[in-house]
Amino acid sequence: KNEVEQSPQNLTAQEGEFITINCSYSVGISALHWLQQHPGGGIVSLFMLSSGKKKHGRLIATINIQEKHSSLHITASHPRDSAVYICAAWDTDKLIFGTGTRLQVFP
């Protein structure tokens, strides 16, 4: 069983839809990252969360430490949001990654 699990693995949406990606972890963590990776591209950190909620533009990330669960929401999705979204949990001094959620947003 992975220490960090994401769902769904694949997600397709029509432009404008509200999207939610979930992440559950079993390790004790100090913080959690949501990362974005475009096809053939590098990895960019979207959010780093240790509690509560953060918002950046159309992206919202929440974390519930007690339930060991985090969600990434995209409002008014757009084709340029198509990418792989990865959650990663800090376990002491190293990052443990989920396997990623591949999102495709169609016009």
Full 3-state SS string of the chain: CCCEEEECCEEEEECCCCEEEEEEECCCCCCEEEEEECCCCCEEEEEEECCEEEEECCEEEEEECCCCEEEEEECCCCHHHCEEEEEEEEECCEEEECCCEEEEEEC
Stretch that binds other proteins, among 11-19, 59-67, 69-77, 86-94 (CB under 8 A): 86-94
Which is nearer to other proteins, 10 or 75 (by Cβ)? 10
Q: How far is the CB of 85 from other proteins (least distance, A)?
A: 12
Binding to other proteins, residues 19-38 (CB under 8 A): 30-31, 33, 35
**Would you tell me which residues interact with other proteins (CB under 8 A)?**
2, 30-31, 33, 35, 41-45, 48, 50, 86, 88, 90, 93-100
